[in-house]
Chain A
């Protein structure tokens, strides 16, 4: 048995079936498109963040300091107004000093894996062709542990770097440009002129053209020798079991090691804020669909209120309070919102499935990829909440008007 107000509300809606169906279809479409678009946008955001988290270090310790070192006089008199002029930093080989000790310290922290990296610019040459590349020196174990290159290997293996320190792993894009294949030799020239020949032990394909054409991986010791930076690493990259801890862990690590420590969130702050802006724009645009649908509900309930003035007067003369009358018409909006959500969500899910079938080739990508869709329950809940909220708001104004009807004004006119 449903309550009195819902039963009156339902009867009002059923008495105006066609208008109710039109406004209901507005909410159904609004809810479905809201769900499809928001799940697509959220899916693409999740996909973007997942790629960011998977393919880049969660934390990078760089060979620089966030703030210049304090001079001894400043350390001695921290509260005094000390000004030291013409300070010139010592000239020293760039890189993280004592990185093995820092690594040892990091190993004691739970839930993270760290690897030293020496990266530098170099030229890859073969058959008269020279291509500028980024040479990443890492231990083979680290390449496997803190990068996702292993997932993208299409030929050879990272593990072969252990047996052959003169080996190299490169992207298939670069190999194609230089007409190279697995097992062949490639000459790498450092900026200072040192030359070393590496054997190609593995090829990877990430699908990101720029990465596949410019990144190469070799043994750390060989790269240190080639770049003439023995026992130096210019960054330490870390992967965390929980990537969302990166911001907090980064601060803690910077306090401990002194070098600038950058979390993936900080490194991509501008992108993250762009995503937030994009979300606001998306929700605004998609909400507009529901606002239009809400006008349909407003129209139907306003018409019902106008037509039912006499009934409202009678209900009030019977002893219904203004709140009871308001409830009847608000419930009409809620019923339309609920029914619209109940039908709109499956329809929206169908649209989402349809979107998933679309394969597109995005700029910078070499593969066809499916549109990323977020199927989480939260998307469904948000779409339903927006639909019901829009219907509720649309019903509120006519409901208030209905509640303010003075029965005597209507009854006098009806005589």
Chain B
């Protein structure tokens, strides 16, 4: 078996305060290339908090996260940002596209920040990504001119911009109708199965979870099944 793309070991995240709140407790898991993993559980069970930890957006109170075998707990904020830029792609429940930028510009942003391609190459790749998600004619539209499903597909294109090995999606279909939801589900599954990316999706949707290769179930901040 190949090395995991991401590996979490005994992750715990507590919010300090008068009453300490435990968001994630003692969670361990590993996700491999080409694997499509769904994290499910009741509201407040810690699914999103675990995703944010895996996405290096939050730091664990204890435990370790290794991305391609590299320990991340010792890295500073800038190094974590660099890892997010190069190796991770996020899709959220709400598309969270920047409203002043067109669909094309939104997709170009991560590549411009990475600054490894020329401007013309960045634009060509962004157009290619949009076309691959059936958005070829929508590049110049602002987010408010797109439907929910189109916006979410633009958000997926943006997540794929820097060709990350790990895609993290937090309720990506939570705000979509059933058709758009099925479409997004297929795209994410395809990214894992056809393009070899590791995909972790937090979802409430039972059908969505059923389509995943593996389902990790959380309850009361703990992984109770599927790790």
Contacts and interface: CB of A to CB of B under 8 A. Distances in A.
Interface of A: 1, 4, 8, 11-12, 14-15, 310-311, 314-324, 407-408, 411-412, 414-415
A317 B94 contact: no
A319 B96 contact: no
A414 B93 CA distance: 9
A320 to B, nearest CB: 6
B207 interface: no
A12 B100 CA distance: 7
Nearest to B79: A321
A411 B53 CA distance: 13
A323 to B, nearest CB: 7
Contacts of B81: 316, 319-322
A155 B119 CA distance: 77
Given A318-B113, A322-B78, A324-B113, A411 B52 contact: yes
A352 to B, nearest CB: 38
B36 interface: no
A415 B86 CA distance: 25
A319 B100 contact: no
B72 interface: no
Contact of B113 (A14, A319, A407): A319
B63 interface: no
Given A11-B100, A311-B98, A321 B77 contact: yes
A221 to B, nearest CB: 86
A407 B81 CA distance: 11
Contact of B114 (A12, A14, A315, A319): A319
Contacts of B82: 319, 321
Nearest to B159: A318
A251 B109 CA distance: 67
23 contacts: A1-B119, A11-B100, A11-B101, A311-B96, A311-B99, A314-B96, A314-B98, A315-B98, A318-B84, A318-B113, A319-B81, A319-B83, A319-B84, A319-B85, A319-B86, A320-B85, A320-B113, A322-B78, A408-B52, A411-B48, A411-B52, A411-B57, A414-B92
Interface of B: 48-49, 52, 55, 57-58, 77-78, 81-86, 88, 90, 92-94, 96, 98-101, 109-110, 112-114, 119, 158, 162, 170-171
A321 B82 CA distance: 8
Contacts of B55: 317
Contacts of B100: 11-12, 14-15
A318 B52 contact: no
Nearest to B100: A11
Nearest to B85: A319
Which of A15, A317, A319: most chain B CB closer than 10 A? A319
A407 B82 CA distance: 15
Contacts of B113: 4, 318-320, 324
Given A11-B100, A318-B158, A319-B114, 17 more contacts: A4-B109, A11-B101, A311-B98, A317-B84, A319-B84, A319-B110, A319-B113, A320-B85, A321-B78, A321-B81, A322-B81, A324-B113, A407-B57, A408-B52, A411-B52, A411-B57, A415-B48
A345 B55 CA distance: 49
A236 B52 CA distance: 87
Nearest to A412: B48
Given A407-B57, A411-B52, A412-B48, A318 B109 contact: yes
Contact of B77 (A12, A14, A322, A414): A322
Given A14-B100, A317-B55, A415-B170, A323 B78 contact: yes
